[in-house]
Structure 1
Amino acid sequence: MNYTITINSANTVEAISEYWSEEDYVNLLLKFNYPDAENAPKDTLEELLLMAITDYEPNEAAAIILEYKLADKINEGQISQISNDMLLDKISEEYPDISLHAPLFHINQLLYKAFNGKFPNAKATQINLSITPLDQAEEPDFTKENILRLLDKGLADSNLIKRLFSEQMAGSKPFPEAENIIWELEAINNRDYSILTSDYWLSKTDIVAGEFEGVLEQATDSVEMNSREL
């Protein structure tokens, strides 16, 4: 199927306020030994947490938040290592397991804000786009993989996704990594979509066309057939 893709907006963002819930703030305040956190006014929770965090050394604060958010995914040794590495590098871009890039970004930016720049400043990219099928009867339900493949012709050849996953972007190989490259995909309606990803994977300067055509090929069947032949 052929589609017209229109980029309505592309913005660099440093924090997604919706990521942290009121429950998260209260739980973290308790972990940072803030008294009576449950009864604090809701509109002051973030500010109180930022102050409570700075009562600790930066790496200690990082370890507490990492344990709270990621204890089911990384072990104690990894938490200790990451909490120190975060002060030096953008771990949310460099960590080998890309499924952790999104939560590491949100954790990093909370610490960056609390410690007034002692942590590197990571960035994300929010893109709003419209996808119009040239066959007006088509009403697809797009996946993250579909969205990335449709963006291919609108991105610079230097874009990291295109360089690392050229065959996947072309549709000749499955693209499971797309699930973690795009952090959030929201269907606003049956034409308009919003995506959130890391500036590391896709910055707004990577977008070289405001409107372009994209093609979705059903390549997975041929990939599976070739696998069975082998």
Structure 2
Amino acid sequence: MNYTLILDSATTVDEIPEYWTPQDYIQLLEKFNFPDAASASPESLPELLAMAITDFEPNVAAALVLEYKLSEQLNEGQIHQISNDMLLDKISEEYPDISLHAPLFHINQLLYKAFNGKFPNAKATLIQFTATPEDPAHDAPLSKEGALRLFGQGLSESNLIKRLFGEQMAGTVAFTEAEDIVWELQNTGNNTYSLLTSAYWLSKDDLVANEFKGAYDPAPVPEETV
């Protein structure tokens, strides 16, 4: 299926404020021994958490946030290791399990801002684009895999996704990693989309064209067997 892609905007961001909910802030404040967090106004919660966090050593604070967010994915030893490594490296880019890159980014940036730069500053890329199918009858929303493969023609050859996942981008093998490389893909209507990913995978500088053609044929849905 052939598409015309138009890049509407590409922005480098260092936080996604809506990622952390008021309930997240309240529960984190409780972990950091802040009294009566539930009675605070929602607007004050981020600032209160930032103050509460800095009462702890950076690696201890990191371990508490990691435990809150990723205790089901990481064991105690992994949390301890990551909490120390985060002070030295961009773990949200380097951790072997890329399914954890997104939450590690959000955790890292929460700590980065609270500790005024003691943690490395990671970046994300927010892309707004329009993907118009040449055949109007085929207007099914794009998947994460489809979006990345369509972007292939508009990315520089040095882009990390193209270098590491050449066969997947070409469509010769399944691109299951796309589900974790693309953190969010929102269909905003009229063939327009919002895509969020790590700048490690796709930066503004990787985008070498504002309008280009792409092709993507989604795998057929298997027929149900009786």
Q: If the length of structure 2 is used for normalisation, what is the TM-score?
A: 0.96
Quick one: distance in 2 between partners of 1:68 and 1:78?
14
Aligned length: 220
1:155-178 Cα offsets, whole Å, 9 max, x none, are 000000000000100000100000
Partner of 1:132: 132
Structure 2 unmatched runs, 5+: 221-226
Runs of 4+, deviation exceeding 6 Å: none
Partner letter of residue 105 of structure 2?
A: F
Q: CA deviation at 1:134?
A: 1.0
Q: Where in structure 2 are the equivalents of 1:135-146 lying within 5 Å?
A: 135-146=135-146
Q: Secondary structure at the match of 1:188?
A: strand
* Other-structure match for 2:44: 44
SS at match of 1:96: coil
Q: State the superposition RMSD in angstroms.
A: 0.9
What is the rounded CA distance, in whole Å, between the counterparts of 1:166 and 1:198 in structure 2?
Answer: 18
1:40-87 deviation per Cα after TM superposition (whole angstroms, max 9, x unaligned): 121100000000000000000000000000000000000000000000
What residue number does 1:84 align with? 84
CA distance in 2, matches of 1:73, 1:24: 18
Q: What is the CA distance between 1:217 and its match in structure 2?
A: 3.3
Structure 1 stretch 71-80 or stretch 133-142: which is displaced more? Answer: 133-142
**Aligned residue for 1:73?**
73
Partner of 1:98: 98
Q: In the alignment, is residue 150 of structure 1 matched against residue 132 of structure 2?
A: no
Aligned partners of 1:54, 1:189: CA distance in 2, in Å?
A: 42
Q: Does 1:188 align with 2:188?
A: yes
> Please, what TM-score do these two structures have when normalized by structure 1?
0.94
CA distance in 2, matches of 1:18, 1:157: 33
Which consecutive unaligned segments of at least 5 residues does structure 1 have?
222-230
CA positional deviation for 1:13: 0.1
Q: CA deviation at 1:136?
A: 2.0
Q: Secondary structure at the match of 2:189?
A: coil
Amino acid at match of 2:146: N
* Percent of aligned pairs with the same amino acid: 65
